[in-house]
A and B are shown apart, each in its own frame.
Chain A
Amino acid sequence: MPITRRQFITRTGLATAGAFLGPSLFRNPLLRQAIADQLDTLDRYVVLIFLDGGNDGLNTVVPLADNGPSQLRYWYEQARSAPSGVNPGGLRLAVPSLQPTQIGNDPHTGTPLALHPGLAGLWNLWKTYNALAVIQGCGDPNSLEFLSHEFSRTVWQTGNPYSLPAYTGGWMGRYLGANYLPNNIPAVCLRDSIAGEFATAATSVLAMTSVADFGFPYDQWDLDMDMPFKHDAFSTLYTSAKGQAQPTFAFLGANGTATLTASDSYPPVSDLYSNDVSRAVFDAQYQGLIDNNGNGFAADLREVAKIIYGVSTGVPNIKARAFELSNGGYDTHSDQGTNNPNDAQLGLHQQVGDALNVFYQDCLDMGVANKLCVVIWSEFSRRILQNASGTDHGSQGPVFVIGGAVKGGPSAANGGVYGNHPNINSDPNVTNADGGNGALNGDGNTVYSQDPSDPFRSTDIRDVYGTILKHWLNISDPGALLPLDGGAAAQYWTAPNFDLPFLV
C-alpha cells in the first residue's frame, strides 16, 4: 500500500466552505446583524501576528537558571553550545545576555525565564505596562507527525488538526462567519491574500498591503479623468440591484455597494492618521524603524494602527476589528545566531519587538490599549538539539498575548508566564519508549501531552483560541467552533479549557 502524507497545499484565500454545521441560529441574518452590532459595542480588537517559518521558541523563552530536578538551564546548555572559535554556530544564549529581558518563572518548575535579547521591545511592554503574557508549550497532537510548514500552518490556522469536515475555514473565520453578514467587513489582512485563519465564506475579509493604496480595481488608463464616471456608474448599477425584489440581485447589490464603500472609505484614513498631530510622535517612531532598520513589519503594523484609529475615532464605514499580519524568515535551519548584531533570529525578534513597542504605546495613547488583544504565534517551534549553526523543525512553542486587559507583566502570577516549558532533557544515557533520548521522541522533539499529571503538559492551541473567543470576544460556546479530538485523554485534546488564566 502506498504511504501517503497529508500535505496541505498553501491556499490562503477564501475557502468557499462546505456547509458550516453550526447552530442554526447563525443562519438568521437579522440575528447575525444583531450579534455583529453587539460585538462592535463590545469595542475590542484582535491582532494576529504570524511568525512565518517556525520560530525557535526554545531560544525565545529561555531558562536562566536551574530550579529543581527539571534542570531546564542545564539541559538547555547541554543541547546548545556557546558560540566559540571551534563552533561559531553555537546557539546558547548566555545568562548575562538574558538578564536584561528576564520575565517571570515557569509555573510548575519555578525556573526563572527570560526573553531572547532581541525582544527588548516586548520586554518593555511586559515591564512597563504589564501587557505581555507568555503561554508556553503550545501545540497540537497531529502536526508533530509531519513537521511540515504547510501542514502545521494549516493546523494552526484552522484549529482543526484532524481536518474534520464540519469545521471549515479558519478558526477566526468560523467566528467571523457566524457573527457577521456577507456585506460586513469585520477583518483585514495586511498581505495580498486572505490569511488562512480568517478564511470564511460567510462574511467579507479584505486583504490589503497598504490602506492608502487599497482601492477599487479601476483600469489605470486616464484614471484621474475617468475614475469618477466609472465610480458613479458602478455605484448606480449596484445600488439599483440592491433595491430589487429579486433576492439574488438584492444580495449582489448589498455586497457590491459595501465593497465600493470600503474602497472609498479606507484610503483616506491613512492621511487622517498621518495628519493627526496626536499621532505624530508615533508615526515618526514607526518611520524611524522603517528607515533606519529596514523594518517592513513596522510598516504593516502602522497600517493596522491606522485602521484602529479609523474605527476608534468613528470614521464612517471603517469597521474592521480583527487583523492579521506576519513577519517572515524564521525557518533558521542555519545561521540562526544568538544575540550578536546581524544574527538572524535577533534581527527578526527586534523587528517584531520594536514595532510592537511603538504600536502598543500608540494604541495606549489612542485610548484603545485596554481593548486590544495581540496574539503572536508560529506554526511550530524547533528542536532543542541544534545542528551546526541552526535548528530543525520542532514542536511545542510559546504564544505571546499582548493587551491592556491581558494578565501579564510582573504584576501577574509567575510574571505573566503560563503553560509549561517543554521538557528539553536530552540525556544520551536514557533511551525512552518513544525511541528518543531523555524526554525527547525519536525525532528529537518534545512531546505533546494533555496528561493532567504531566509536569510538562502542553497547551493545546485550541484552548488558547477558545479562551480568546470566550473571554475576549464574548462567545459563550467556543466549543461549537473548535473540533474536539477522539482518543486517549493524555494524548489528545478531549477536555477543553477555555478559561486559561492569561485572560481570565
Chain B
Amino acid sequence: MGNENTVLTTADARHLLRRAGFGAPAAQVNAWGTIVTRGAAADQLLNFPKRVFKPRGRQIEDRHNSWLKHMITTRAPLQEKLVLFWHDHFATSNDKVDDPVLMGNQNALLRKFCAGNFKDFVKAINKDAAMIEFLDTVRNSQDQPNENYARELQELFTLGVADYNGTRNYEQADIVQIARAFTGWSYNNRDVAVFEGGDHDYSADHPERGSKVIYKTSGGFGANGADLTQSPYNAAGEGPAEIDGVVEIIFNHKDSDGKRTVARYIAGKLFTFLAQPYPKRPAQMTQAQRDALKPIIDQLIHDSNFDTTWDLHALVRAMLVSDAFYVTDVAADPQSGFSATDLKSVKWPVDYVVSTMRVLNLRLRGRFAFVNGGDFRLISDQLNDMGQVLFEPPTVFGWNWETAWINSATLLARFQFAVDVIAARGGGSTSFHPTRLVNINLTDPTAIVNAVTDALGVTDQLTATDQATLVNYLTDGGTQATIDLTNLDVRNRKLNGLFGLVLQSPTYQVH
C-alpha cells in the first residue's frame, strides 16, 4: 500500500514519466528512481509555467505546428498531456469552426484550466467562441432551439449518458430545457461571448415550453427537479445567468449510488487516460468493468475531495500517487475486465511523434514542420495518416483510443515517420545524431543494442526474445562477433537501423 510518501522505484519512475509525460529519458529516470517520492514527483510534474501558451499562426496548419513544437520543447509535458486530454474531451473541430484564432483561443483556455477548477472550466467552455460555433450555440435561438450543445454538455462533457450502474443520468426533457437556457448566446467580432436578450427564450414568451426545471427523474433532486432560473442555483434569475445555473445544477447531480455524477465521470475518464486503459466512456464498458473501476474512482475522489472542490490539480495528484496508477500488471481476472497481464496503452499518434522527438532531442524543421530526413513530408500529413490531426477531432466524441489507433495503414505511417527520423542526417537540432546518444566505442553487440534501447528509454519493456532479435539484426544474422561503430558505413546502416527497428517495434507503439 503506497501513498505520496512512497519512494519511486526506477520502474515506477519510468511508468510515471511515460504516462504523465512524453517519454522517460534516462537522466530523468535516474534522478527520480529510488530517490524521489511519488508526491514530490507529482508536484514537479504539476508545476506548470505561469504564462499560458497559445499556439500562433495565420493558418490552422501553422497553429497545429506551433502547438506540436511546444509539446516537443515544453518543460511541463504533463500540462500538454492534459491539454490533449481536454482537447479530446471538449472536442471541437476546425473543420466546422474554420477559424484559427478561435481554435487558438480555445487551446489557451484548455491550458489555463487543464489542472484548474473543473466547474469554472465548464462555465468557461460554455462561453468559448469556438465551442459556441462548433456545437451550434450560435444557431440556438428562441424561435429554433438547437439541442446540440445541451445534449453534448451532458452526454460527453459532464455526466455521461448513464452512471456506473447503468442508470440514465438525464432525459430528453432535460436537454430541451437546458437548450432553452443557452438561447441567445453568440460571440462578437472580438470573439467574446455575448448574450442577446432578443434571441433568448424567456418563459413569459413561451409558456407552452413549460418551466426551466431539470432532473425531475434523475440526479437526486426529487420529483420537483432543479429550477435553473432560481436560487440556490441561479440567484440572478432568467437571462444570461441561466447557463451558470445549469452548471451549478449539473455539478450537484447525484447518481444512483448517491455520488456526484460529474466527479465519477471525469475521474474515471482521466484515470482511463493516465492509468489503466479501460474503454473511454462508461457507456462503452461492461458492467464488470464499471464495477471494477468504481471503487478506484471513489477512492481517488475521496483522497482529493474532487466532488466538493472540483480541483483537477488535486485529482490528478491523487491519481499520480495512488497504487492504482502504479499497477502495471493485473492477474487475469474477469472482475477487472482485463484478460491478461500488462496494462499496455497504445500511444496516441501525437504522443508517438512527440516522445520520439523529445527522447532523441530532435526538432521539426521550418514553418511547415517536417522531419529533416523525410522527403519533406509534412508532420501534419504524417499525423493525419496516423489518424490524429490536432484541432480536427473527427467528431464531438473525440478520437477513438487504444487499438482503434492501429491498422495496416496507420502502422505504415508510424513506420514511415520512424524511417524519416533516422534518416535525418546533416547538422543541427533538426538532425538525428546517434553518436551523441550511443557510445560508438562499444563493440559488443548486446551492449550496443542495450545502448540504443537505453537511449530510447525502452530497455525495460523489451523481452529477452526481442533483444535477441535485435542482436541478430545487428550481427547480420549472427555472422559478426563484434561491431565497429567507428566505421561510418556500419553506423549508418546498423546503428541507425537499430534505432529504426526499435521505433517501429510493437513495444514502442505502447507504454
Task: Return chain B residues, CB-CB under 8 Å to A230.
Answer: 473, 497, 500-501
Interface of B is mostly: helix
Could you say which interface size class chain A belongs to?
35 or more
A165 within 8 A of B: yes
Q: Say whether B423 contacts A9, CB under 8 Å.
A: no
Q: Which one of B387, B393, B408, B504 lies within 8 Å of A185 (CB-CB)?
A: B408
B133 within 8 A of A: yes
Complex Cα gap A1–B136 (Å): 13
Complex Cα gap A169–B94 (Å): 16
Q: Which one of B189, B398, B418, B465 lies within 8 Å of A2 (CB-CB)?
A: B189
Q: Which one of B187, B398, B493 lies within 8 Å of A226 (CB-CB)?
A: B493
Question: Among residues 471 to 492 in chain B, which have CB atoms less than 8 Å away from a CB atom of chain A?
Answer: 472-473, 476-477, 489, 492
Complex Cα gap A13–B394 (Å): 11
Question: In whole Å, how far is A39's beta carbon from the nearest beta carbon of chain B?
Answer: 18
Question: In whole Å, how far is A201's beta carbon from the nearest beta carbon of chain B?
Answer: 6
Q: Say whether B402 contacts A248, CB under 8 Å.
A: yes
B98 within 8 A of A: yes
Question: In whole Å, how far is B483's beta carbon from the nearest beta carbon of chain A?
Answer: 13
Interface centre among A8, A16, A246 (most CB of B within 10 A): A16
Of B29-37, B334-342, B361-369, the one contacting chain A is: B334-342
B107 within 8 A of A: no
B389 within 8 A of A: yes
Q: Say whether B138 contacts A4, CB under 8 Å.
A: yes
Question: Among residues 216 to 272 in chain A, which have CB atoms less than 8 Å away from a CB atom of chain B?
Answer: 216-222, 225-226, 229-230, 232-234, 236-238, 240-241, 245-249, 251-253, 255-256, 258-259, 262-263
Q: Say whether B423 contacts A165, CB under 8 Å.
A: no
Complex Cα gap A185–B410 (Å): 12
B494 within 8 A of A: yes
Of chain B, the residue at the smallest CB distance from A187 is B409
User: Given known contacts A7-B98, A19-B400, is B476 in contact with A229 (CB within 8 Å)?
Assistant: yes
Of chain A, the residue at the smallest CB distance from B374 is A217
Q: Which one of B138, B341, B404, B472 lies within 8 Å of A246 (CB-CB)?
A: B341
B44 within 8 A of A: no
Q: Say whether A237 contacts B466, CB under 8 Å.
A: yes
Q: Say whether B411 contacts A256, CB under 8 Å.
A: yes
A205 within 8 A of B: yes
Complex Cα gap A186–B496 (Å): 34
Q: Say whether B98 contacts A248, CB under 8 Å.
A: no
Q: Which one of A18, A225, A252 lies within 8 Å of B400 (CB-CB)?
A: A18
Of chain B, the residue at the smallest CB distance from A238 is B506
Q: Say whether B400 contacts A222, CB under 8 Å.
A: no
Task: Return chain B residues, CB-CB under 8 Å to A185.
Answer: 408
B505 within 8 A of A: yes
Question: Among residues 463 to 495 in chain A, which have CB atoms less than 8 Å away from a CB atom of chain B?
Answer: none
A93 within 8 A of B: no
B108 within 8 A of A: no
Complex Cα gap A220–B375 (Å): 12
Of chain A, the residue at the smallest CB distance from B387 is A16
Q: Say whether B339 contacts A6, CB under 8 Å.
A: no
Q: Say whether A248 contacts B415, CB under 8 Å.
A: no
Question: In whole Å, how far is B315's beta carbon from the nearest beta carbon of chain A?
Answer: 26
Task: Return chain B residues, CB-CB under 8 Å to A251.
Answer: 403, 406
Question: In whole Å, how far is B400's beta carbon from the nearest beta carbon of chain A?
Answer: 5
Q: Say whether B406 contacts A252, CB under 8 Å.
A: yes
A207 within 8 A of B: yes
Q: Say whether B470 contacts A233, CB under 8 Å.
A: yes
Interface of A is mostly: loop
Q: Say whether A16 contacts B404, CB under 8 Å.
A: yes
Q: Which one of A201, A220, A229, A246 lies within 8 Å of B344 (CB-CB)?
A: A246
B385 within 8 A of A: yes
Q: Which one of A217, A232, A256, A258 lies within 8 Å of B506 (CB-CB)?
A: A256
Q: Which one of A8, A233, A248 lies within 8 Å of B403 (CB-CB)?
A: A248
Complex Cα gap A226–B494 (Å): 8
Q: Say whether B395 contacts A11, CB under 8 Å.
A: no
Interface centre among B409, B415, B470, B497 (most CB of A within 10 A): B409
Complex Cα gap A183–B396 (Å): 27
Of chain A, the residue at the smallest CB distance from B494 is A226
Of chain B, the residue at the smallest CB distance from A5 is B98
Complex Cα gap A151–B282 (Å): 35
Q: Which one of A6, A206, A245 lies within 8 Å of B409 (CB-CB)?
A: A206
Task: Return chain B residues, CB-CB under 8 Å to A103.
Answer: none
B209 within 8 A of A: no
Of chain A, the residue at the smallest CB distance from B404 is A201
Q: Say whether A14 contacts B509, CB under 8 Å.
A: no
Question: In whole Å, how far is A225's beta carbon from the nearest beta carbon of chain B?
Answer: 7
Q: Say whether A237 contacts B396, CB under 8 Å.
A: no
Of chain B, the residue at the smallest CB distance from A8 is B95
Task: Return chain B residues, CB-CB under 8 Å to A218.
Answer: 419
B399 within 8 A of A: yes
B206 within 8 A of A: no
B469 within 8 A of A: yes
Task: Return chain B residues, CB-CB under 8 Å to A234.
Answer: 501, 504
Of chain A, the residue at the smallest CB distance from B391 is A9
Of chain A, the residue at the smallest CB distance from B186 is A1
Q: Say whether B400 contacts A16, CB under 8 Å.
A: yes
A17 within 8 A of B: yes
A168 within 8 A of B: yes
Task: Return chain B residues, CB-CB under 8 Å to A222.
Answer: 489, 492-493
Of chain B, the residue at the smallest CB distance from A245 is B340
Of chain A, the residue at the smallest CB distance from B342 is A246
Complex Cα gap A355–B386 (Å): 33
User: Given known contacts A14-B410, A19-B397, A216-B415, is B95 in contact with A247 (CB within 8 Å)?
Assistant: no
User: Given known contacts A18-B398, A241-B506, A255-B406, is B496 in contact with A221 (CB within 8 Å)?
Assistant: yes
Task: Return chain B residues, CB-CB under 8 Å to A301.
Answer: none
Task: Return chain A residues, CB-CB under 8 Å to B124.
Answer: none
A193 within 8 A of B: yes
Q: Which one of B95, B98, B500 lies within 8 Å of A11 (CB-CB)?
A: B95
Complex Cα gap A251–B470 (Å): 21
Q: Say whether A182 contacts B469, CB under 8 Å.
A: no
Task: Return chain B residues, CB-CB under 8 Å to A351.
Answer: none
Give me 16 A-to-B residue pairs in the complex whose CB atoms sit less than 8 angstroms apart, sorted by A's number: A1-B138, A13-B381, A13-B384, A18-B394, A18-B398, A182-B407, A203-B407, A204-B409, A216-B412, A217-B416, A219-B496, A221-B423, A229-B497, A233-B473, A236-B472, A259-B408
8 closest Cβ contacts across the A-B interface? A204-B408, A18-B395, A18-B397, A16-B387, A233-B473, A241-B506, A13-B384, A259-B408
Contacts A11-B392, A226-B494, A230-B497 supplied; 15 other A-B pairs, CB < 8 Å: A4-B98, A11-B384, A14-B410, A15-B387, A16-B399, A18-B399, A165-B397, A185-B408, A219-B422, A226-B497, A232-B473, A248-B344, A251-B403, A255-B407, A259-B415
